[in-house]
Amino acid sequence: MSRRYTYPEAAERLRVEERWLRRNIRRLPHSKKGRVVTFSDEDLDRIDALHHHEPTSSPLATLPVPAPGTHPMAHLKPLPPRGAAVRIG
C-alpha cells in the first residue's frame, strides 16, 4: 500500500500552501474516508501534472524535439572565432 499524506504533508511535498489545497480540493485527485482527506503518491503526481505548463510563445517553444538518442543541444552551431569577419547580406 502506498503512503498517504495529510493536507500539511501534501502541501509540503507539492510546495504549495495548505490553504490552496483545501480551496481546490474538489478539482484535485484525493481519497476521502468520512471527513479525513488523504493524498497518495499517485494523487500528488497527478496534481503536479495538472498544473504543468509548456511554453507556447518563447524561443524555447519553437525548438524541435530532439530525436531519441541525440543530444538535446545538437542543433546548436558554434560561434565564429573572435576577430573573424562577419558577412552581412
77 assigned to some structural domain: no
Residue 11's pLDDT is 96
In a domain, 35, yes or no: yes
Number of domains the chain contains: 1
Rounded to two decimals, the pTM is: 0.60
Residue 61's pLDDT is 65
DSSP 19-80: HHHHHTGGGS--EEETTEEEEEHHHHHHHHHHT----SSSGGGGSPPPPTTS-TTTT--PPP
Domain membership of residue 9 (yes or no) is yes
- Reported as a single tens digit per residue, the pLDDT across 10-54 is 999 999 999 999 999 999 999 999 999 999 999 999 999 998 877
Domain of 27? 4-50
Per-residue pLDDT tens digits for 72-83: 677 778 888 887
Residue 71 lies in a domain: no
| Position 89 in a domain | no
